[in-house]
């Protein structure tokens, strides 16, 4: 860290003094040689002989950071004066659900939009098919932020100049994504009341659980093929060891995503009664860093279902041994598809009703 303090002199006072970069300047391809490296394959294979998606999340997080460092490469120093961290996983859409652990995987990535201190990174994943052609597997959009060399304050990043119509459309989409995220945050159920349509949904759910024999608001029964939301919870605890730390002695974001995904998958698996596959990951906000030595508590529950789809929310919090306080660090949203139709979910309390509506919003935003 003392060495990084010396890099402060390389930080620009404004974005105007930084040379503009092009999309192709940050473009990168990375090969994951599962087909030729048996030891590496063991790290990625599941018991169903597919690829561990949690490991893929770790790789995407690392690739996003690398892309941003390439975009902001400073030729006057061997070590970057910037600290790039993941601030948001905007969306990960799957277009292939069964991955072979015996075929090579290729990642591509580049910066697609730039603000003053933030960058949007587009990444794609492909898998070799029949040793001939790489087929698309997923599209991912991450938002990264640049901090100073000590990871304390925001730092300016190189501006981005689109070169053609396709790149201009990507840049415009980045602006639209930013506006959409602001609108989604403004309408959060933690800030404003549900819409009239959503209030009607909750009231209809409530009425459908009243016991017709008692004619009482206090007597609740489950409709056929339904489950109370409170009965879908799973929890886990991890000790944050130094093995998973980054250069700032904080836990690597990809590790947190892998742990959250694996708990969400277990929740969807136990709820749906079959082995589900992930369809979409969205709106993972990294609210607070996780320090080494913290106790990481993950709480997962099904918050919305429709047909074969299961919407799972994972809440992450840490317990600090020094302050003796619990603090929320992340909230994760995963959409799974089960092999068969799953039960309906019914909330009991007002808080659970808000989780239901939030899960429904995330489900509706799925591509």
State the pLDDT at residue 42.
93
| Residue in 307, 313, 309, 339 with CA at minimum distance from that of residue 328 | 313
Distances from the Cα of 341 to the Cαs of 223, 285, 305, 354, 356, in angstroms? 16, 30, 9, 24, 18
Residue 367 has pLDDT above 60, yes or no: no
Q: Are residues 178 and 254 in the same domain?
A: no
Residue 5 has pLDDT above 90, yes or no: no
d(CA 7, CA 362): 41
- Extract the tokens encoding 303: 């918050």
State the pLDDT at residue 271.
95
Q: Are residues 52 and 103 in the same domain?
A: yes
Q: Are residues 208 and 333 in the same domain?
A: yes
pLDDT digits (tens, 9 = 90+) for 270-307: 999 999 999 999 888 888 888 887 889 999 999 999 99
Q: Label residues 21-41 b or e (16+ Cβ within 10 Å = b).
A: bebebbeeebebebbeeeeeb
State the pLDDT at residue 131.
72
Q: Are residues 211 and 354 in the same domain?
A: yes
**Structurally, how many domains does the chain consist of?**
2
pLDDT digits (tens, 9 = 90+) for 6-41: 677 778 888 999 999 999 999 999 999 999 999 999
CATH code, 231: 3.10.129.10
Which position has the higher pLDDT, 323 or 81?
81
**CB atoms closer than 10 angstroms to residue 230:** 12
Residue listed under structure tokens 């819409």: 195
Chain Cα centroid distance, residue 5: 31
Residue 83 has pLDDT above 60, yes or no: yes
DSSP element (H, E) containing 239: strand 234-239
Q: Are residues 181 and 201 in the same domain?
A: no
Percentage of residues of the chain with pLDDT beyond 70: 98
State the pLDDT at residue 284.
87
d(CA 24, CA 11): 24
- Quote the mean pLDDT of the chain: 90
Q: Are residues 35 and 167 in the same domain?
A: yes
Q: Are residues 235 and 93 in the same domain?
A: no
Q: Are residues 17 and 154 in the same domain?
A: yes
Q: Are residues 125 and 201 in the same domain?
A: no
Q: Which domain-ending residue is among 142, 164, 187?
A: 187
Q: Which domain-ending residue is among 187, 221, 251?
A: 187
d(CA 153, CA 231): 42
Q: Model confidence at 82, in pLDDT bands (50, 70, 90)?
A: confident
Task: For residue 45, give the DSSP letter.
Answer: B
Task: For residue 36, give the DSSP letter.
Answer: T
DSSP element (H, E) containing 41: helix 38-44
d(CA 80, CA 11): 9
Which position has the higher pLDDT, 81 or 72?
72
Mean pLDDT, residues 38-61: 93
319's CB contacts (< 8 A; 6+ apart) are 294, 295, 297, 325, 326
Answer yes or no: are the C-beta atoms of 32 and 111 closer than 8 Å. Answer: no
Render 307-327 in DSSP notation, one character per residue. Answer: TTEEEEEEEEEEE-TTT--EE
Helix (H, G, I), strand (E, B) or coil at 262: helix
Q: Which domain-ending residue is among 187, 213, 242?
A: 187
**Domain region containing 326:** 196-366
Q: Are residues 216 and 178 in the same domain?
A: no
State the pLDDT at residue 148.
86
Query: What's phi and psi for 306, nearest 5 deg?
Result: -160, 120
Q: Are residues 81 and 208 in the same domain?
A: no
320's CB contacts (< 8 A; 6+ apart) are 291, 294, 327
pLDDT digits (tens, 9 = 90+) for 256-268: 999 999 999 999 9
pLDDT digits (tens, 9 = 90+) for 211-249: 888 877 778 889 999 999 999 999 999 988 888 877 667
State the pLDDT at residue 219.
81
pLDDT digits (tens, 9 = 90+) for 99-153: 999 999 999 999 999 999 999 999 999 999 877 899 999 999 999 999 887 777 8
Q: Per the confidence metrics, is the pTM higher than 0.75? A: yes
Q: Model confidence at 176, in pLDDT bands (50, 70, 90)?
A: very high
Q: Are residues 247 and 346 in the same domain?
A: yes
């Amino acid at each position: 860290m003392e060495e990084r303090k010396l890099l402060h002199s390389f930080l620009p006072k404004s974005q105007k003094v930084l040379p503009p970069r092009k999309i192709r300047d940050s473009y990168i391809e990375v090969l994951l040689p599962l087909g030729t490296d048996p030891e590496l394959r063991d790290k990625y294979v599941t018991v169903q002989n597919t690829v561990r998606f949690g490991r893929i999340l770790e790789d995407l997080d690392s690739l996003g950071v690398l892309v941003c460092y390439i975009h902001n490469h400073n030729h006057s120093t061997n070590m970057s004066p910037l600290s790039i961290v993941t601030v948001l996983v905007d969306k990960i859409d799957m277009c292939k659900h069964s991955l072979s652990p015996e075929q090579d995987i290729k990642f591509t990535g580049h910066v697609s939009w730039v603000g003053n201190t933030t960058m949007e990174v587009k990444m794609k994943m492909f898998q070799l098919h029949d040793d001939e052609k790489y087929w698309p597997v997923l599209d991912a959009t991450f938002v990264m932020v640049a901090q100073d060399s000590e990871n304390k304050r925001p730092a300016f990043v190189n501006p981005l100049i689109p070169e053609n119509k396709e790149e201009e459309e990507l840049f415009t989409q980045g602006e639209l994504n930013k506006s959409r995220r602001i609108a989604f945050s403004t309408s959060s159920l933690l800030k404003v009341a549900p819409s009239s349509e959503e209030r009607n949904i909750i009231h209809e759910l409530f009425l459908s659980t009243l016991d017709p024999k008692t004619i009482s608001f206090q007597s609740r029964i489950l409709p056929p093929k339904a489950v109370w939301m409170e009965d879908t919870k799973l929890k886990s605890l991890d000790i944050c060891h130094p093995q998973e730390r980054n250069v700032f002695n904080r836990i690597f974001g990809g590790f947190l995503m892998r742990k959250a995904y694996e708990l969400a998958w277990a929740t969807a698996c136990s709820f749906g009664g079959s082995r589900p596959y992930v369809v979409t990951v969205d709106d993972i906000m990294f609210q607070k860093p996780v320090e080494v030595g913290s106790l990481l508590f993950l709480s997962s529950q099904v918050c919305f279902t429709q047909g074969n789809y299961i919407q799972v929310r994972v809440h992450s919090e840490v317990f600090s041994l020094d302050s003796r306080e619990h603090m929320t660090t992340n909230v994760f949203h995963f959409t799974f598809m089960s092999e068969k139709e799953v039960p309906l979910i019914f909330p009991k309390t007002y808080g659970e009703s808000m989780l239901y509506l939030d899960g429904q919003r995330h489900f509706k935003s799925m591509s």
